[in-house]
Structures are given as structure tokens and as C-alpha cells.
């Protein structure tokens, strides 16, 4: 149906450029215009209700109607609506939030730096690694190793860290000094007869080979990883993976950067994914659930060694010339503080651990479905990989967009989920979700999966029939 001339859809098409959207087809299809939200639900401008099964963009942990966060923003707006952190200026919300985050960190951290998004935070991490090594008089030690299928953001530097082809293609990325090692997806890249442990060993060997090929300890400065790879398909690391990878990182005197943007603040059943997978970072990056996405804010935590490097170099230059106008914005910081209070007062970690098996076990029942190759996940984040042939793991032709079709059927059935490259489906509901609401997700997903299977068979694309 063609949108009315003055409708929100028509005005959207006329005036907006949408992220992660086919801009050509959007001119024909138009947007889903969201009017309001309550709890885990959103409502469109036609009055249709949907379960937000991806928590917005992996981020709205407390749902869409948490009055305490709204009030925290209002109170801070009245007290100090904005101020900056440049040239030694500060304010209570920024100080309080830094103190709280350092207390929550799973390993000793020294200082917090604030930005506005995960992309900016990872971009900052890149600059800090380079600045730190200049301080230590190691001008050649600049290469940062990420992973194929990683997602770390979309600024020039963070998009270079990202290991997804479409984030590089025709943007002239990645930039120099950022390289990628192999993706640790055991289902997709494990060899016949190879155990998870052996696969993890092979991934660590591949990292070491990459380091040596790139110049060894003299050239390689850091390794960055999400505890669970999010936009790459919700890829859970194989057994022993991070233990083995960190041994290699330490051997070559490299910094370990944990990207906690999706996993942080309870998503995996622990406060940080680093705890779930025994990661001991030198730098931690976090955003999204830090404020339940009610206001944009992100943080970079650094250990004392890194901080002392920054101190030394800023003393030499006379300034640490990095930062953002809205770093530690007082209203965003106040909302983040209140978010952390809610996690603590409601014992959110216990809630996640209690309800997560309902989601994980429920989704794993679809593993026998003709279209499903693998179901994977931890806590309240999961991925489902669709395949053409279960026996051979053959994928569908990307041009068929089978995952995108399933997501459209889910939306028609009142469930918002996301398709990612390679027909991976992400499920990541708000942390406040209840067991009966998880059952509703499972029912709607199952219905949509069956409808997708019928469509695939009708079009003659299914060996999985």
C-alpha cells in the first residue's frame, strides 16, 4: 500500500536516511513507525502491538516504560541539564558513575572515560592503544587484531575493527594497523571430528600465526573481542577459547580489549560477559544496557598501566587531546546510575539466570526443524542459523534473503527479531522479560519459522523439505 502523502511513512521516505537499510527498497516499502512502548512491548502508528524480541538493538534491558529512569532524567535536567568534562571540569553524575563502574569491573580497573555510543567507545580504545604505545616509545607497536564476523561499531576506526564485509565494502575500509584473525564459530568452521577444545586450540594457533605474520610483539599492540559475537550471528565461543587466546595475547605483550557493548550488565547471566568466559581485559568497552538505552552513553574502562601511559604522554604533549562534547553528559550519566541501581535492587542477575533456561531450552527445541542448522546462546541472548541442507550445513543463496523473510513473518505475527548476514536470526529480549512472555516469543517464532519453511518449499529452494 502506498503511504498517504502526509503520513509519517511518507514523510519518513521523504526526509530520512536509515542505517542498515536497503535505501532503494525502503523508498517503496517504507518504515515501521513505532508510536509508543510499555514493558517488553512496542506499538506502531496503526495500533499493532509487538514483542520487542531484540530489546531494540540489543540494549533496552529494562523495557520501554521504566519510570525511575524517566524521573532520573527529569530531576537531573532541572538540576544541571548539561556540562562538559573538558579542561578538568566535572560534575557529580559523571564522578558517581565512574566510581560505580570501577567497583563493578570484573578485574581491577583504574579510570573511566565516557563517550556516547559503543562505536565511539571502541574508536577511543583504538586511539588509546596507539597513544599508550607512543608513551612507551614503541612507535611500531600499533596493530590491533580483531576477528572475522566481529562487530565493534561504524566510525572509521571501529568499522575497521568490525569484521563484516558490508561494513567495509565501498567505505574504503579497513584502515591501516587493523587486521582480522579467524572467526571462532565451531558449528560453521570446525573440522570433521574436531572437538571444541581442539578447535579453540586451532583458533589460538591462527592468532599466533597472524601476530607473527604482522610483525610479532614489535608490531602487534592489542586483541579485541566481544565475549559473544553479536551482529556476526550471536556466536558463542568454543570451550577454552578465551583462555587459549589470552595466553597468546600475553605472550606477545599485547593489550586485551573486551567489547562488552552487548554482553555487559547482565545479558549473559553475569554482570559482564568477561566473567562468563574468564576474560581478563586491560581495556573494557561498554554501552547499550548501561542506560537501558534511554539516553546515549558509553564508557571505556582502563587499567592502571594504560592510564599511566596516558598520563606520561599527556604530560609530554601538554594535553590529552581526546574527548567529546557530551562525554559523561550529566543527564545520561544520571540515567545510567539509576539503571545500575535498578539492576542491583531488583537482583537482575538472579532473574536472568532464572528465566534464561526457558528461552535457551525453548529455542533449542527448534534444532530439529528442517530449516534450522544450529541454535546457540547464553543467558538472554540467542542465535538461530537457517540452512538449506541440515546434513551438509549448506547455506541458502544470500539473494533469497530467507532470514529476512522469516523476520518479516515474525513482524506480521507480532514479534520483532533481527536477521543478520548468512541467515542468522538474533533473539535478545529485554532483561525484565517473564517466563510467560518468553513462551509468547517461542510460539510466534515457531509460527514464523513454519511459514518461512512453507515459502521456501513453494519456491523450490529447500533440500530441507
Sorted by where each starts, the structural domains of the chain and their CATH numbers stand as 32-65+348-458 (3.90.1150.10), 68-345 (3.40.640.10)
Mean pLDDT (the chain, rounded): 97
DSSP string, 124-188: HHHHHHHHHHHHTT-TT--EEEEETT----SSHHHHHH---HHHHTTTT-PPTTEEEE----HHH
Grid cell listed for 432: 525484565
**What is the C-alpha separation between 13 and 8, in angstroms, rounded?**
9
Mean of pLDDT values over 417-441:
96
Quickly state the pLDDT bin for 292 (edges 50, 70, 90).
Answer: very high
Give yes or no for a contact between 246 and 224, defined as CB atoms under 8 angstroms apart. Answer: no
Q: Which DSSP state fits 235?
A: B
b/e sequence 84-100, b meaning 16+ C-beta within 10 Å: bbeeeeebebbeebbeb
For residue range 140-159, list pLDDT tens digits in order.
Answer: 999 999 999 999 999 999 99
Residue 1 reports pLDDT greater than 60 = no
Give yes or no for a contact between 416 and 386, defined as CB atoms under 8 angstroms apart. Answer: no
Q: Quick one: pLDDT at residue 3?
A: 59
**What is the C-alpha separation between 321 and 380, in angstroms, rounded?**
39
Q: Quick one: pLDDT at residue 465?
A: 42
Q: Quick one: pLDDT at residue 459?
A: 86
**What is the C-alpha separation between 383 and 262, in angstroms, rounded?**
14
Strand boundaries in 358-414, DSSP class E: 372-378, 381-386
For residue range 64-98, list pLDDT tens digits in order.
Answer: 999 999 999 999 999 999 999 999 999 999 999 99
Q: Quick one: pLDDT at residue 6?
A: 85
Q: For a pLDDT cut of 90, what percent of the chain falls above it?
A: 97
Mean of pLDDT values over 346-359:
98
Q: Which DSSP state fits 3?
A: P
DSSP string, 375-390: EEEETTEEEEEE-SBT
Residue 2 reports pLDDT greater than 60 = no
> How many helical (H) and strand (E) elements, i.e. helices and strands, does the chain have?
17, 15
Q: Quick one: pLDDT at residue 464?
A: 42
Q: Quick one: pLDDT at residue 422?
A: 83
Q: Quick one: pLDDT at residue 462?
A: 67
**What is the C-alpha separation between 355 and 266, in angstroms, rounded?**
12
Quickly state the pLDDT bin for 4 (edges 50, 70, 90).
Answer: low
Give yes or no for a contact between 259 and 294, defined as CB atoms under 8 angstroms apart. Answer: no
For residue range 12-56, list pLDDT tens digits in order.
Answer: 999 999 999 999 999 999 999 999 999 999 999 999 999 999 999
Grid cell listed for 10: 511518507
Amino acid at each position: 500500500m502506498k503511504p498517504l502523502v502526509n503520513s509519517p511513512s511518507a514523510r519518513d521516505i521523504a526526509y530520512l536516511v536509515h542505517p542498515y537499510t536497503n535505501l532503494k527498497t525502503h523508498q517503496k516499502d517504507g518504515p515501521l513507525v513505532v508510536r509508543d512502548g510499555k514493558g517488553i512491548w512496542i506499538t506502531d502508528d496503526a495500533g499493532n502491538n509487538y514483542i520487542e524480541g531484540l530489546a531494540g538493538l540489543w540494549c533496552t534491558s529494562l523495557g520501554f516504560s521504566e519510570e525511575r529512569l524517566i524521573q532520573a532524567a527529569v530531576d537531573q535536567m532541572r538540576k544541571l541539564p548539561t556540562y562538559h568534562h573538558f579542561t578538568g571540569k566535572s560534575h557529580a553524575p559523571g564522578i558517581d558513575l565512574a566510581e560505580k563502574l570501577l567497583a563493578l569491573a570484573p578485574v581491577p580497573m583504574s579510570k573511566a572515560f565516557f563517550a556516547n555510543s559503543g562505536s565511539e567507545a571502541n574508536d577511543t580504545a583504538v586511539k588509546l592503544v596507539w597513544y599508550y604505545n607512543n608513551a612507551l616509545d614503541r612507535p611500531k607497536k600499533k596493530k590491533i587484531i580483531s576477528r572475522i564476523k566481529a562487530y565493534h561499531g561504524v566510525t572509521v576506526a571501529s568499522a575497521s575493527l568490525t569484521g563484516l564485509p558490508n561494513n567495509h565494502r565501498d567505505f574504503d575500509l579497513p584502515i591501516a594497523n587493523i587486521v582480522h584473525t579467524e572467526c571462532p564459530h565451531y558449528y560453521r568452521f570446525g573440522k570433521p571430528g574436531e572437538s571444541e577444545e581442539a578447535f579453540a586450540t586451532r583458533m589460538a594457533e591462527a592468532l599466533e600465526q597472524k601476530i607473527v605474520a604482522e610483525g610479532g610483539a614489535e608490531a602487534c599492540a592489542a586483541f579485541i573481542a566481544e565475549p559473544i559475537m553479536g551482529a556476526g550471528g550471536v556466536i558463542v565461543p568454543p570451550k577454552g577459547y578465551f583462555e587459549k587466546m589470552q595466553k597468546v595475547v600475553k605472550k606477545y605483550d599485547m593489550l586485551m580489549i573486551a567489547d562488552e557493548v552487548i554482553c555487559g550488565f547482565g545479558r549473559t547471566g553475569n554482570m559482564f560477559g568477561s566473567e562468563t568466559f574468564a576474560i581478563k581485559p586491560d581495556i573494557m568497552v561498554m554501552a547499550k544496557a548501561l542506560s537501558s538505552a534511554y539516553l546515549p552513553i558509553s564508557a571505556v574502562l582502563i587499567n592502571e598501566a594504560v592510564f599511566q601511559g596516558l598520563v606520561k604522554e599527556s604530560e609530554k604533549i601538554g594535553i590529552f587531546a581526546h574527548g567529546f562534547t557530551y562525554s559523561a553528559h550529566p543527564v545520561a550519566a544520571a540515567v545510567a546510575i539509576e539503571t545500575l541501581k535498578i539492576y542491583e535492587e531488583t537482583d537482575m542477575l538472579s532473574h536472568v539466570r532464572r528465566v534464561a533456561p526457558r528461552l535457551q531450552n525453548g529455542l533449542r527445541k527448534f534444532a530439529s526443524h528442517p530449516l534450522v542448522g544450529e541454535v546457540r546462546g547464553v543467558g538472554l541472548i540467542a542465535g538461530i542459523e537457517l540452512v538449506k541442507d541440515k546434513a551438509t550445513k549448506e547455506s541458502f543463496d544470500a539473494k533469497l534473503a530467507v532470514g529476512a523473510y522469516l523476520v518479516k513473518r515474525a513482524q506480521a505475527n507480532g514479534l520483532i527479531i533481527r536477521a543478520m548476514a548468512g541467515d542468522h536470526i538474533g533473539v535478545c529480549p529485554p532483561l525484565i522479560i517473564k517466563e510467560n512472555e518468553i513462551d509468547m516469543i517461542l510460539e510466534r517464532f515457531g509460527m514464523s519459522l513454519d511459514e518461512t519453511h512453507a515459502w521456501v518449499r513453494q519456491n523450490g529452494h529447500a533440500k530441507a523439505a
